[in-house]
Amino acid sequence: MKPIIILLMFFQIFYINVVNANSAQIINSGSNEYKSVMLTPEIYNNCGQGLLDIRVLGSSGTELPYFINSHSLEEKASRYGTTLINSFTKGNDFYFDYEVSNLTGQEVISTSIQIETTDTEFAKEIRLLGSYDNIKWENIINQPIYSIGNSDGLEVFFGQGLAYKYFRFIVEDNIEQISFNNVWLKHDPDIFYNKRFIQKLITSYSIEENGDKSVISIDGVKNLKAQELSIIADGNFRRGISMPGLLPDSFLLYNFKIGSGPYISTPLKLDGLTINDSPLILEIDNSSGNPISIKSIELSYYSDELIFKSDGSSSYTVEFGFRQTPSPLDTGTNKADILSQPIDRLDFENYNISDNGPYFFGIFNLQFFLLLPVLIIIAAAAIKMNINKKIKRKQKKH
């Protein structure tokens, strides 16, 4: 019996080491019943797919109920038409004045304005102004717009809700005579709420030149839901870029500048694509020129929000990776009701990440299966010794 107990002790020690390998601390603040924290790359990289291996613990070790609140990719914006009421030039600058159509006394709070044009292969700096009466104009934003190849940046986001009835575009140095076919005013009721779900990661990467291709390996992005990827570089260029094994088609990457302004890189729109493996491999086709000099690679991704019920602890521990649970503990309250309440928004700190990585089979990782034969041999030897002792005792009695 003793050998079996010894084997079980080895198993228990190793099992505890496996399930508690990764953790992060949350320092509590605020007095609301529910707390939230945005999941970070450290969490995503070391969790299994589906985030089924997360536990939230109070300071006493009690497991707390939680749920995952995710960003919705469904656009809920209302769109309002506009009418061109005036246009004129001052030197090389073109002015276009638009009135929001069919308001009938209704006030529209807009969050962005969308341009439609048949013109292509252009990049222009615009000034956007707003007015309540078509007399007094107030500056809203200066921003580049562009339509180059298969990339465009033709929507201007305000950063706040605006109630102007009139909008003026000033297209600077418009010697190409760029014009607009339609201008739409948009109101997205969730844009500012959802903005906090979009996080930006300055990635760690390495580059290997292979013939006329630059092969880029980007680390630390496993399980992230990518919104867009930007390659920051100097110089004007156009390059084909692909993600082997992840996307079937290649894209065109453009880098350009307007006048004396900074270089603008057209981002790769990934629309919530989940990156299942790390590193992420990119291939840039340099057959049309020399390899580009990359300054940084930025990945915007959609984060998830972990919302849990407080037990009054001064701090909380989130365990993740290696331990798959059927489902988190039920909060006992409808999610919509919880989200309508005030919630204390907290942050992760003090990560404790295992170097082994989440190579698990069921609830065990690879190391367990490597050590299992050793444990069996030890147990077998102990059992054999125990049997031999019993035989010798019987022989002495006889």
Task: Render pLDDT for 63-79 as a digit per residue (tens, 0 to 9).
Answer: 999 999 988 767 677 88
Sequence-separated (6 or more) residues with CB below 8 Å from residue 185: 79, 80, 81, 82, 100, 108, 110, 113, 114, 167
- The pLDDT score that the predictor gives to residue 348 is 94
Q: Contacts from 355-361 at CB under 8 Å and sequence distance 24+? A: 356/21, 357/46, 358/22, 358/46, 358/47, 358/48, 358/53, 358/321, 358/322, 360/18, 360/48, 360/322, 360/324
d(CA 114, CA 110): 11
Cα(303)–Cα(305) distance, integer angstroms: 7
User: Average pLDDT in the 349-362 region?
Assistant: 66
Average pLDDT over residues 262-282: 91
- Amino acid at site 80: Y
CA angle at residue 346 from 342 to 351, to 5 degrees?
155
Q: How confident is the model at residue 359 (pLDDT cuts 50, 70, 90)?
A: very low
Reported as a single tens digit per residue, the pLDDT across 191-215 is 777 788 999 999 999 999 999 999 9
pLDDT, residue 330, reads: 62
Instruction: For residues 373-387, give the mean pLDDT.
Output: 66
Give the model confidence (pLDDT) of 14-23 as tens digits.
Answer: 444 444 468 9
pLDDT exceeds 60 at position 268: yes
Q: Which listed CATH number (2.60.120, 3.40.50, 1.10.10, 2.30.30) goes with 198-302?
A: 2.60.120
Percent above pLDDT 70 for the chain: 80
Cβ neighbourhood burial of 98 (10 Å; 0-12, 13-18, 19+): buried
What is the model's pLDDT at position 6? 52
Residue 338 Cα to chain centre, angstroms: 23
What single DSSP character describes residue 212? T
- Show the tokens assigned to 300: 């915007």
158-192 confidence digits (pLDDT tens): 988 999 999 999 999 999 999 999 999 998 877 77
Whether omega for the bond prior to residue 244 falls within 30 degrees of 0, making it cis, is no
What integer pLDDT is reported at residue 71 of this predicted model?
81
Using the predicted structure, report yes or no on whether residue 112 has a pLDDT greater than 90: yes
The mean of the pLDDT values for the chain is 84
Model confidence at 291: pLDDT above 90:
yes
Cα distance between residue 282 and residue 207, in whole Å:
9
Residue 394 has pLDDT above 80, yes or no: no
Question: Residue 367 has what pLDDT?
Answer: 52
**pLDDT digits 0-9 by tens, 224-234:** 999 999 999 98
> What is the predicted pLDDT for the residue at 36?
96
Q: Where are the beta strands (DSSP E) in 234-275?
A: 237-242, 251-257, 263-265, 268-274
Give the pLDDT score at 361: 40
- pLDDT computed for residue 329 by the predictor: 57
Instruction: Identify the pLDDT of residue 18.
Output: 46
Query: Is 154 in contact with 116 (CB distance < 8 Å)?
Result: yes
CATH class entry, domain 78-195 = mainly beta
Residue positions counted in the chain: 398
Q: How does pLDDT run across 87-105, given as a tens digit for each residue?
A: 999 999 999 999 998 766 6
d(C-alpha 153, C-alpha 136), whole Å: 28
Contact 253, 297 (CB under 8 A): no
Q: Tell me: pLDDT of 11 over 80.
A: no
Confidence of residue 327 (pLDDT cuts 50, 70, 90): low
Closest CA to 218 of 307, 112, 294: 294
pLDDT at residue 223 is higher than 90 = yes
Amino acid at position 357, single letter: G
Tally Cβ neighbours within 10 Å of residue 68.
14
For 313, phi then psi, to 5°, come to -65, 155
pLDDT band, residue 143 (cuts 50/70/90): very high
Q: In which residue ranges of the chain is CATH 2.60.120.260 found? A: 78-195
Rounded distance, CA 199 to CA 265, Å?
19
- Is the pTM higher than 0.95? The answer reads no
What one-letter code names the amino acid at 269? K
Transcribe 283-316 into DSSP letters: EEE-TTSSPP-EEEEEEEEE--EEEEE--S-SEE
